[in-house]
């Protein structure tokens, strides 16, 4: 399924159903742990290493959908959780965040990807070639030439790592204020695919958070390495 003139390639279903359901259950067990810092809680997974989390197990199965895989070293990933009635992520381009903040060169991942875990009202992913604009709400580009992807379970969105992207609100408009009414937590996994490890991004085991995501041993217990 691809929207006309899309900047995004979609794969659905992206994961085998049993793998997806196991992943979704694990993310739901995380609940609201570190919810306020969900976008700052990122992890590095070297594709040559054994997976430490259920997300990394899924990443290995998603990897064949990623273009240029042979040139890639690993995946930077995080839980993207938000309410579409209160979007707190501006339009942006993914980058080596620590390097950029330290005044270093601007480095983008080779490929950016999103795995949607559930369905919510609105909350579309919006991708564009246009740069963010600091004068607009949510840093939305001046020209709204957007490819939109609706959140649907087990939908995998793949796009170029230097493209601008953001999230629309529950009415699928540019977020400019919180919206009234109840909302479900929008659950996705963000996975950026790099040819080199981003600066100061720990592995899942090094970070020691989100124990619900640990790989489970054959006896059903979670690994204690994290």
Each residue's pLDDT tens digit, 173-211: 999 999 998 899 999 999 999 999 999 999 999 999 999
Q: What is the CATH number of domain 9-213?
A: 2.60.120.10
pLDDT band with cut points at 50, 70 and 90 for residue 221: low
pLDDT band with cut points at 50, 70 and 90 for residue 216: confident
Helix-, strand-, coil-residue percentages of the chain, each rounded to 5: 20, 25, 55
Each residue's pLDDT tens digit, 129-140: 999 999 999 999
Sheet of strand 125-128: strand arrangement: 92-93, 164-167, 125-128, 147-149
Domain boundaries, the chain: 9-213
pLDDT band with cut points at 50, 70 and 90 for residue 226: very low
Separation of alpha carbons 51 and 187, rounded Å: 21
Each residue's pLDDT tens digit, 82-103: 999 999 999 999 999 999 999 9
Summarize the confidence of residues 6-17 as an average pLDDT.
97
Contact 140, 130 (CB under 8 A): no
Separation of alpha carbons 22 and 1, rounded Å: 24
The pLDDT value given to residue 3: 44
């Amino acid at each position: 399924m691809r929207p006309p003139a899309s900047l995004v390639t979609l794969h659905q279903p992206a994961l085998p159903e049993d793998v997806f359901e196991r992943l979704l259950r694990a993310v739901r067990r995380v609940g609201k742990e570190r919810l306020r810092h969900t976008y700052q809680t990122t992890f590095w997974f070297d594709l040559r290493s054994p997976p430490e989390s259920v997300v990394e197990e899924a990443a290995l199965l998603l990897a064949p959908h990623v273009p240029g895989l042979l040139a890639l070293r690993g995946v930077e990933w995080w839980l993207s959780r938000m309410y579409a009635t209160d979007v707190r992520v501006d339009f942006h381009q993914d980058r080596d965040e620590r390097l950029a903040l330290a005044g270093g060169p601007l480095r983008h991942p080779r490929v950016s990807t999103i795995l949607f875990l559930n369905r919510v009202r609105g909350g579309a992913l919006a991708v564009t070639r246009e740069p963010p604009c600091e004068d607009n709400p949510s840093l939305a580009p001046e020209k709204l030439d957007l490819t939109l992807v609706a959140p649907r379970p087990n939908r995998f969105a793949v796009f170029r790592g230097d493209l601008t992207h953001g999230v629309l609100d529950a009415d699928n408009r540019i977020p400019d204020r919180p919206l009234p009414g109840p909302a479900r937590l929008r659950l996705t996994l963000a996975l950026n695919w790099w040819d080199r490890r981003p600066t100061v991004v720990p592995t899942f085991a090094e970070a020691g958070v989100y124990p619900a995501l640990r790989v489970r041993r054959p006896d059903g217990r979670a690994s204690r390495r994290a």
